[in-house]
Amino acid sequence: MMTNITNILNLIFLSIFSFSINFYFGNLGVFPIDTFAFFDTGYLILKDQIPLKDIWISTGIGVDILQSFFFSVFGVSWNSYLIHSSLMNMFACLFFYYFFLRLSINKFLVLSYCIFISFLLYPMIGTPYHYHHALIFSLIGILVLCAAIKDQKNYLWFVLPIIFLFAFLFMQTPSIYIIFLSGLIIFFNLILNKNFENIIFLVGGIFTSILLFFLFLYIFKIPLLDFLNQYILFPSSIGISRILGEDSAFVALSSNFNFKSVVGHFKFVHLILIILIYCLISCLRQNNYKNNDIIIFLLIISSSYLFIFSQLITANQTFIFSLIPIIGLFAHYGIKNYGKKNIFLNLIVVLIVSISSFKYFFEYVLDRKFIDLQSVKLSKAIEANSIDSKFKGLRWISHIYPDNPSIEIQIIKQSLDIIKSDKKIKMVITDYQFFSILLDEELNNLNRWYTHDNNSYPLKDNKYFKIYENFINNKIKNNNIEVIYIIDSNAKNNINIENFKIFLPEYCFKSKQIIEGVFSKHEITKCN
């Protein structure tokens, strides 16, 4: 009885804490190009825009669609946006709590580590983000595979491919790496245990996933060819260039191989993994190679290094520090069963996890380093509801105008007023992805991100350039676009008409700078 009451109280506390802490930090500061990434697209899908057909989306389509659901349930507002990410943070923490309790790890330890996970997982960015969704579902897939191997429950094998389908629709990487690794682990497990009944249910889950995928395309009216071009083929070309290109993160890492960049940055992850490797070796020494824990340890160790690899070649801000308490809980499990319940080792794990969790919380969450606000005084943030009541609760400060956020807000308000007063058919190109929502108007958005770097959309040297060129031209022709407005938050993303002219050879422009380098108007006509 007391155990059940304690579990209920722990679940209530963890739910409230994990939701609230993300909601709080999601309201503090903005990094326009990422903070609002899924804001407009979620709204456009709610307004019957077809993703991939009407909006160019190369990553994270599942987040856009899920956000449209939250808008439909909670209304179109900033709060609905944060409810989405906060519930995702809560869901992940509750899942981890339940999973690790089933491994008979100390309840207080599990609760403490889940609290660490809760403030390292989503609060780093706070707002819905494809990397975090994919990380969560990749981790859930890994843990479900661990449970399937350990418990040999058929339903777990069945749901596994479905979980990985969700992970992939949220973000292609690291999902695809984890799916490939899981396939190898499943094959290894089959060789050791020869349980073919599991494979029958796994195959059933794979076929169900395929059916769900095509049902997903049908419900949202997504053309299969658009999905293949935008979500598979074009991103693959980006991935290859990032790995093999001269300026890629991987090549840079390879050419400048040093302790600081490879080991130093992820030192606490490596330290925990060393202890887990020790548990694996101890398990192997028992000479029972059919022990399922061997496979589980191999899965956790190898997937952790895959997450690190994915982080490095992604060339993005680090977002995987929440792995540390998760690996730490597996380390405690290993010490309990194969480390002779070594108190010293358990203490080391507790110290590593505690120190690193608080370190990264203060560095990446409290100081908002993940969204590049580390040089900004958060105390200078001002209420964003002066832009629109839909932004109630958001404290506005960005790296663009760190000393005077009111200037940025004034630029946004001026842009909104001018665009609203123009009765022509408009296209708005901006990394402030909320204009459609605030104006409640069809602004013919092209894509989620506008970075002229061959990542958001294909440039002339990309083999999918022609597809994107046709996409833009069809949008202009079919909607009779008369004017293009461009608002570049910091004039550094090269959001300007000159860069878009490569896609529009048939058109000429009468251009006017409204705010130099930031806000411009371009009336569009046929050149002939």
Residue that wins the pLDDT comparison between 361 and 252: 361
Beta bridge partners of 447: 56
Cα gap 322→112, rounded to integer Å: 13
Neighbours of 111 (CB within 10 A): 20
What pLDDT is stored for residue 255 in this prediction?
A: 46
At 290, the pLDDT band (50, 70, 90 cuts) reads low
Q: Residue 524: which H helix or E strand, with range?
A: strand 519-526
What pLDDT is stored for residue 2 in this prediction?
A: 53
- What percent of the chain clears pLDDT 70, i.e. is strictly above it? 93
Are the C-beta atoms of 482 and 524 separated by less than 8 Å?
A: yes
What pLDDT is stored for residue 496 in this prediction?
A: 87
- For residue 471 the two structure tokens come to 């996409």
Residue listed under structure tokens 């300007």:
496
Candidates 164, 3, 163, 133; CA nearest to 65 is: 133
Cα gap 407→391, rounded to integer Å: 17
> What would the pLDDT profile of 227-278 be if each residue is shown by its tens digit?
999 999 999 887 555 555 544 444 544 544 445 556 778 999 999 999 999 9
What pLDDT is stored for residue 252 in this prediction?
A: 45
Residue listed under structure tokens 């889950």:
205
What pLDDT is stored for residue 374 in this prediction?
A: 78
- For residue 237 the two structure tokens come to 């070309």
Sign of CA dihedral 13, 381, 519, 516: negative
What pLDDT is stored for residue 456 in this prediction?
A: 87
Contact partners, residue 460, CB within 8 Å, separation at least 6: 502
The 8-class DSSP code of residue 3 comes to H
Which parts of 315-448 fold into alpha helices (H)? 323-338, 343-360, 405-421, 435-439
Are the C-beta atoms of 357 and 324 separated by less than 8 Å?
A: yes
Q: Residue 513: which H helix or E strand, with range?
A: strand 507-515
- For residue 296 the two structure tokens come to 């589980």
Average pLDDT over residues 431-452: 92
Cα separation values, 468 from 123, 239, 322, Å? 34, 18, 37
Are the C-beta atoms of 81 and 70 separated by less than 8 Å?
A: yes
Cα gap 82→21, rounded to integer Å: 11
Cα gap 404→96, rounded to integer Å: 41
- Mean pLDDT check: name the lowest of 11-20, 134-143, 383-392, 451-460: 451-460
- For residue 386 the two structure tokens come to 């002066």
β-pair type (507-515, 519-526): antiparallel
The 8-class DSSP code of residue 55 comes to B
Mapping DSSP onto H, E and C, the string for 200-223 reads HHHHHHHHHHHHHHHHHHHHCCCC
Please provide the average confidence, as pLDDT, over all residues in the chain.
91
Q: Give Dmax (Cα) for the chain.
A: 82
- What percent of the chain clears pLDDT 90, i.e. is strictly above it? 73
Would the pLDDT of 464 be above 50?
A: yes
- For residue 44 the two structure tokens come to 């456009």
Cα gap 261→265, rounded to integer Å: 6
Cα gap 188→175, rounded to integer Å: 20
> What would the pLDDT profile of 473-487 be if each residue is shown by its tens digit?
999 999 999 999 999
Cα gap 65→43, rounded to integer Å: 9
What pLDDT is stored for residue 244 in this prediction?
A: 52
What pLDDT is stored for residue 257 in this prediction?
A: 41
Cα gap 30→24, rounded to integer Å: 13
What pLDDT is stored for residue 250 in this prediction?
A: 47
Would the pLDDT of 140 be above 50?
A: yes
Residue listed under structure tokens 């949202």:
220
Q: Using CA atoms of 10, 12, 14, 19 in order, give the dihedral in degrees to the nearest 10.
A: 180
> What would the pLDDT profile of 297-333 be if each residue is shown by its tens digit?
999 999 999 999 888 877 678 889 999 999 999 999 9
Cα gap 165→170, rounded to integer Å: 9
Are the C-beta atoms of 71 and 43 separated by less than 8 Å?
A: yes
Residue listed under structure tokens 């694996």:
280
Residue that wins the pLDDT comparison between 192 and 106: 106
Q: Count the residues in the chain.
A: 528
Candidates 111, 86, 112, 76; CA nearest to 25 is: 86
CA 289, chain centre distance (Å) = 37
